[in-house]
Amino acid sequence: MSGIQIKNLYKIFGDDPAMALDLVKKGMGKAELQDKHSHVLGLQDINIDMPDGGIQVVMGLSGSGKSTLIRHINRLIEPTAGEVIVDGVDVLGMSRGDLRKFRANKTSMVFQKFALLPHRTVQSNVEYGLEVQGVSASERHARSKKWIDRVGLGGFEENYPSQLSGGMQQRVGLARALATDAEILLMDEAFSALDPLIRTDMQDVLLELQSELKKTIVFITHDLDEALRIGDNICILRDGGIVQKGNAQDIILHPADDYIKDFVKDINRARVLRIDSLMSDDLANAGTMKLDRDTRLDEAARQMQEADVTKAQVVDSSDKVIGAIALDDIVNSMVEKVEVESTV
Amino acid sequence: MDWFEFPEMEREQLRDLRKGIDEGFRDFTRAYGETIENALYPVEWFLKHFENLLLDTPWIIVLLALSGIVYFASRRPWLTLGTFFGMALIGYFGMWEDAMKTLAMISTATLGSVLLGIPLGIGMAKSDRVQTVMNPILDVMQTMPSFVYLIPVIMLFGIGKLPGIIAVIIYAIPPIIRLTNLGIRLVDKEVLEAADAFGSTSWKRLTNVQIPLALPTIMAGVNQTIMMALAMVVVAALVGAPGLGQPVLKAINNQFLFMGVSAGMAIVILAIIIDRASQAYGQRLQSHREKEH
């Protein structure tokens, strides 16, 4: 089985994690564990199945354990209990040598604060992972050049990181991670340190690259907008435990609890929801206009208004009609959001 | 019990202890002195040949070479000019030969300190246990009056260049060890994590990340070591090390004010040149930091 499976993962920080693990399994919460035994519950019974070739977003506020979780996938942090299986291989069972090879060839990572080598040029930073893999100098050169161009940094090869802006530095970080050709890309709050506009830019860069590369990406963020924009699958963490798993539609339409409702209420639904989440089977008066099922509500409303229709057919990727969508329903769903806000 | 007298050790016990330790060390010296001296032969060899090179080469070539080295290390024309005239002044006052001997000695001592000190500093940075053991040793090395550790050095090696240089190294090595340790411990944890995440071996991590990032601190340590080596020149002269310390010693014994001051000034000139040149070199190594965005 490919992809990444995380099973019953626990991480407890402290002097005697085994003792604390027993207590947690008996139902002790994070606060109590901290007060009574001064152990910190990092992760609690995490089970995630991350499919091959998709983007799995892990979202949570600071202290929710998301950065701890991503570091278990390449074992920068040792778990207290549980299993991490990547491409059918148990990461926790690897010897030191195997783990090094696994990190060098299978996974690569992008960091929140870029973590570039300040004394190396852009080119030589991007080559770092290839150096570790033992790739020859000429091939390193060619491959790093290719990725520097792909992330839009052509011409900056000989610059040092300190000469670049934050957004450009993170492009170096991304190029460094992509250059190793690892199947798994771990992104730890990779865009969180960037300005909003540059962040959107980088999200576009990532999505565009992903549409072609089809890597297995684990993306950590504290920003729900970013999570909804990027993630095929989203998993929300709180206090080290999973609160909800699902895709963007699920999370917006069916938030699991008040915690998530609180997050979701400020989201621009029209930009996230797809028309297939609102469509009906009632094809009467559906007219001739056809909209793809993946169309977002705001885009659908705009197109329908421009064409001056009140109802349109919804089609799937093979152009087969699967339902109909009414402009009223779209408007209502947007209004519903306004109501939610006004009652708060 | 008499509360006014300190309960001292019995005189005889103290005498026996003193005798035991003195004789023990003397026996050790007799048994191993030669072995240790032979083991340190490379240091002596390097010092001798480097000194001969500086002394046998015509002064004008040495003077130009020194100025050239300072220029290539610092890229500062005024410093280079200052080096040229400073060294010329030393020669004009009749201390060229002593200055060359001193230069040979501090170069050897610095090289020895760096070769020994950087690995020790790395060891300290890698292991908290090593650090716990090393710290008090370094404290003792730095605070023990240098005349005190001259005693076992003289007992082991007698009088001459080798004991002089050993004394200088003992005195000058702590800063390079401490600052190498500090520099490596201060390396950004995120960058280290990145190196790990890409599967670096610990050797690659050390050579590609830790040492380069710690280099400004390590260079500060090298600079400190050189300065301390220069400060030891006069003390080392007491055990027979040649160089600018000798005229100072002679001046103290005979109350020759001019001789003492001029030799002292020559040491100051050497110190300023080496300090400025090594600092400028250290900064140039960090050129990528200067052009902050």
Q: In what order do the strands lie in the sheet with A321-326?
A: A290-292, A311-315, A321-326
CATH code of the domain in which A84 resides: 3.40.50.300
Domain end point (choices A267, A282, A309): A267
- Is there a domain that residue A172 lies in? no
Q: Please give the average pLDDT of every successive group of 10 residues along chain B, which has 293 residues.
A: 79 91 90 86 90 92 93 90 93 92 92 94 94 94 86 86 88 94 94 93 92 91 92 86 90 92 93 90 74 47
- Please tell me whether residues A256 and A207 are part of one structural domain: yes
- The SS3 of residue A342 is helix
Look up tokens 């520097």; give the residue: A148
Shortest alpha-carbon distance between residue A150 and chain B (Å): 21
Q: How many residues does chain B have?
A: 293
Pairwise CB contact (< 8 Å): B197 & A132: no
Q: What's the CA dihedral at A105, A107, A108, A113 to 10 degrees?
A: -150
Residues from B in contact with A at Cβ < 8 Å: 188, 190-191, 193-201, 204, 208-209, 212-213, 215, 286, 288-289, 291-293
Residue B269 Cα, gap to closest chain A Cα (Å): 33
The answer to whether A105 contacts B199, with C-beta atoms less than 8 Å apart, is: yes
Residues 6+ apart with CB under 8 A from A103: A74, A75, B196, B197, B198, B199
Residues A186 and A325 in one domain: no
Q: Three-state SS for A167?
A: helix
Looking at per-residue pLDDT, the higher value among B206 and A293 belongs to B206
Cα(A107)–Cα(A105) distance, rounded to whole angstroms? 6
**Is pLDDT at A338 greater than 80 in this prediction?**
no
Q: Is A234 inside any structural domain?
A: yes
Residue A138 placed within a domain: no
pLDDT at B214: 92
Q: Are residues A330 and A199 in the same domain?
A: no
Which among A236, A267, A298 is the end of a domain? Answer: A267
Q: With CB atoms and an 8 Å threshold, state whether A117 touches B196.
A: no
Residues B167 and B239 sit within 8 Å (Cβ to Cβ):
yes
Over residues A190-233, the pLDDT tens digits come to: 899 888 888 998 999 999 999 999 999 999 999 888 888 888 88
A-chain CB neighbours of B199 within 8 Å are 99-105, 129, 132-133
**Residue A39 domain flag:** no
Within 13 Å of residue B197, how many CA atoms lie on the same side as its CB? 29
The residue whose two tokens read 């919460």 is: A29
Q: What's the confidence (pLDDT) of residue A8?
A: 92
* Cα of B223 to nearest chain A Cα, Å: 21
Print the domain residue range for A84.
47-106+182-267
d(CA B150, CA B170): 10
If asked whether residues A80 and A95 sit together in one domain, one would say yes
pLDDT over 60 (residue A299): yes
Q: Which residues of A touch B191 (CB under 8 A)?
A: 115-118
How many independent structural domains does chain A possess? Answer: 2
| Same domain as A284, residue A242 | no
Q: What own/partner pairs with CB < 8 Å and gap ≥ 24 does A324-329 have?
A: A324/A279, A324/A280, A324/A281, A324/A282, A324/A283, A324/A286, A325/A275, A325/A278, A325/A279, A325/A280, A325/A291, A325/A300, A326/A280, A327/A301, A329/A278, A329/A280
Q: What is the mean pLDDT of residues A133-155?
A: 91
Alpha-carbon torsion, ordered A242, A245, A251, A257, to 10 deg: -40
**Residue, of B251 and A317, whose pLDDT is higher:** B251
- Per the domain annotation, does A26 fall within a domain? no
A324 falls within a domain: yes
ipTM > 0.85 for the complex: no
Domain ranges for chain B? 11-285
- How high is the pLDDT of residue B265? 93
Confidence (pLDDT) at A341: 47
Q: Measured on CA atoms in the order A61, A67, A70, A72, is the torsion positive or negative?
A: negative
**How many contacts (CB atoms, under 8 Å) link A and B?**
76
pLDDT of residue B257: 93
Q: How far apart, in whole angstroms, are the C-alpha atoms of residue A20 and residue A8?
A: 15
Contact across the interface for A117 and B212, Cβ inside 8 Å: yes
Question: A76: nearest CA in chain B?
Answer: B197
Mean pLDDT of the residues in chain A: 87
Beta bridge partners of A291: A314
Which strands form A216-221's sheet, in the order they lie side by side? A107-110, A184-188, A216-221, A55-59, A233-238, A241-246
Judgement on whether residues A186 and A259 belong to the same structural domain of the protein? yes
Cα–Cα dist A132/A104, whole Å: 7
CA distance B190 to A161: 15
Q: Which residues of A240-258 are buried (b: 16+ CB within 10 A; e: fewer)?
A: bbbbbbbebbebbeebeee
Element (H, E) at A49: strand A40-50
Residue A295 in any domain: the answer is yes
> Could you tell me which chain A residue has the CA closest to the CA of B194?
A115
pLDDT value of residue A336:
60
Probe site for chain B from A132, A176, A185 (most B CB atoms < 10 A): A132
A168, part of any domain: no
Query: Is there a single domain that holds both residue A327 and residue A300?
Result: yes
Q: What tokens does B89 get?
A: 């002044």
Mutate to test the interface with A, among B188, B196, B198 (most CBs of A within 10 A): B198
Q: What is the pLDDT of residue B290?
A: 52
B80 phi, psi to nearest 5 deg: -65, -45
Contact assessment for residue A210 and residue A53, using Cβ atoms and an 8 Å cutoff:
no
Nearest to B199 among A104, A162, A164 (CB): A104
Q: Which CATH number fits the domain that encloses residue A288?
A: 3.90.1280.20
Residue A339: is its pLDDT beyond 70?
Answer: no
Share of chain A above pLDDT 90, in %: 41
Q: Nearest to residue A192, comparing CAs of A61, A327, A289, A281?
A: A61
**What is the distance between the alpha carbons of residues A273 and A249, in angstroms, rounded to a whole number?**
6
Contact B193, B209 (CB under 8 A): no
Cβ atoms of residues B80 and B74 within 8 Å: yes
The pLDDT-based confidence of A272 (bands split at 50, 70, 90) is confident
Which has the minimum average pLDDT: A75-84, A260-269, B37-46?
A260-269
Q: How far is CA A285 from CA A135, A282, A289, A323, A333, in A?
A: 63, 9, 11, 12, 21
Mean pLDDT lowest for which of A58-72, A253-267, B202-216, B240-254? A253-267
B11-285 CATH fold: MetI-like fold (1.10.3720)
A188 and A240 co-located in one domain: yes
**What pLDDT, on a 0 to 100 scale, did the predictor assign at position A295?**
85
Boundary-marking domain end, from A267, A298, A322? A267
Which of A88-97, A205-214, A247-256 is predicted least confidently?
A: A247-256
Residue whose entry in the numeric block shows the structure tokens 């150096």:
A131
Which residues does chain A have within 8 Å of residue B286's beta carbon, measured at their own beta carbons? 119
pLDDT the model gives residue A280? 83
* Together in a domain, A295 and A211: no
Q: Label each residue of chain B as H, E or C.
A: CCCCCCCCCCHHHHHHHHHHHHHHHHHHHHHHHHHHHHHCHHHHHHHHHHHHHHHHCCHHHHHHHHHHHHHHHHCCHHHHHHHHHHHHHHHHCCCHHHHHHHHHHHHHHHHHHHHHHHHHHHHHHHCHHHHHHHHHHHHHHHHCCHHHHHHHHHHHHCCCHHHHHHHHHHHHHHHHHHHHHHHHHCCCHHHHHHHHHCCCCHHHHHHHHHHHHHHHHHHHHHHHHHHHHHHCHHHHHHCCCCCCHHHHHHHHHHCCHHHHHHHHHHHHHHHHHHHHHHHHHHHHHCHHHHCCC
- Flag if B291 and A108 touch (Cβ within 8 Å): no
Q: What pLDDT was estimated at residue A344?
A: 40
